[in-house]
């Protein structure tokens, strides 16, 4: 059996909606394990997946278009007060 991790939401009627379609072919039945966070599992510093993806897309765009700093300049001025 193959495992795929993804995220989704459960609506008020108990239906599961995945955040993204699974790229699977010829599968008609699946087994599903639902992990529900408890109050103690929630990390307020975790960014939503959409925010992380937006940051990655922006970073790739900047890298492709040459909007980068040479590594030798990244720490210039970091100790200035």
Read off the pLDDT band of 81 (50, 70, 90).
low
Within-domain flag for 19: yes
> Do 38 and 62 contact (CB within 8 A), yes or no?
no
Within-domain flag for 66: no
pLDDT in tens, 26-63: 777 888 888 887 776 667 677 888 888 999 999 999 98
Within-domain flag for 7: yes
Please count the structural domains in the chain. 1
d(CA 61, CA 57): 6
d(CA 2, CA 73): 45
Within-domain flag for 43: no
Within-domain flag for 32: yes
Domain enclosing residue 28, as ranges: 1-37
């Amino acid at each position: 059996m193959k495992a795929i991790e993804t995220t989704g939401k459960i609506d008020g009627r108990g239906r599961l909606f995945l955040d993204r379609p699974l790229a699977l072919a010829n599968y008609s039945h699946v087994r599903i394990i639902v992990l529900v966070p408890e109050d103690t599992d929630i990390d307020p510093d975790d960014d939503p997946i959409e925010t992380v993806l937006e940051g990655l897309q922006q970073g790739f765009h900047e890298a492709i278009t040459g909007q980068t700093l040479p590594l030798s300049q990244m720490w210039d001025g970091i100790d200035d007060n």
